[in-house]
Amino acid sequence: MLPLIWLAISPAFLRPFDTIQAEKQRKWELETLKELRLSLRTLLSHEEPVDIHIVTRKHDFPLFNFSVPFLSKVTLHDMPVEYVLATFLRAGVDGGAHHSGIGGACKLLLPNILNMSTFLFFDTDTIFLRPVSVIESFVSNMQSHQIIAAGEIKGLGNSLGFKTRINSGVMIFKNVSTHAWENAVVGALLLNPFNCDQIHGGLFQRPICIKHNTKVLGDQEVISFIVSSTNSLFPLPDYIHHHYQGSISEVPEKLVILHYKRYPDAIIVAEKKLGLKLESSSNLLA
């Protein structure tokens, strides 16, 4: 079984908060946990053994004390905040990452955090409409040492210098050298010349700002930069992954993963496609 990875941490950067910020932080944490439970509930509904890994803060481990089928297993990994911050300081980064937070930063360093060279990563806002073994079969046909696979690739335009844009909510790492990957991430942060967009109000409000007043980078931009430099892209076919930015009207019958925008849409699709009863359940893994 390939390891299946989730980051179960809120997007906010881990710094002292005032009361208002603390309330917002807690709300984000609960939203992330709610999404994760739905994601895992749909995954486990297919009744096949899976190897689940969740990266979160150690004091949150009790939140993930749920039962899974005996052929499956769940491993919790403590969030190595100091390692992540030290790595980003190597690149002169003094802010957060995607969603201005430690979560996006950790996503970029997952091979090192997990000490794994091959694994599948999913954002919490994904649901599984078919067994994940479909993806595992696909991965077995990927060439060795291809670093990442992702869906929904769009041209960024010559002005940005990237050939591709990655939807980093669904990623596949295959035989990646953890040391080389970390250096590639740091190199992308060091080399990118873009300025931070101030329209969204600064470091804690700009979802894609990674270095205050100097660089505009999120996990997608860093990965796009690496992929453009290394030619390591192996796109996921449409029948495996779709990312819906708005309301969901139609979902392909053979779709494996739906990376959704709105949680209520995901509930509707999961109930309709999988026959799950979710609306009245407060704990989706109970």
* pLDDT score, position 257: 92
What are the Cα distances from residue 120, in Å, to 81, 86, 250? 22, 25, 26
Would you state the structure tokens that stand for residue 178, as one six-digit string? 């953890």
* pLDDT score, position 165: 64
> What is the Cα–Cα distance from 73 to 69, expressed in whole angstroms?
8
The domains located in the chain, with CATH, are 3-274 (3.90.550)
278-240-38 Cα angle (round to 5) = 20
* pLDDT score, position 158: 41
**pLDDT tens over the chain, length 286 residues:** 899 999 887 655 445 455 776 777 777 778 888 999 999 999 999 999 999 999 988 888 988 888 888 889 999 999 888 888 788 777 766 555 444 456 777 888 899 999 999 999 999 999 999 999 999 888 888 877 666 776 555 544 444 445 556 778 888 888 888 888 888 888 777 765 443 443 333 333 333 344 444 444 567 777 777 776 666 667 788 888 887 766 666 788 889 999 988 898 899 889 988 999 886 444 456 5
SS3 letters across 176-213: CCHHHHHHHHHHHHHHCCCCCCHHHCCCCCCCCCCECC
**Whole-structure pTM value:** 0.83
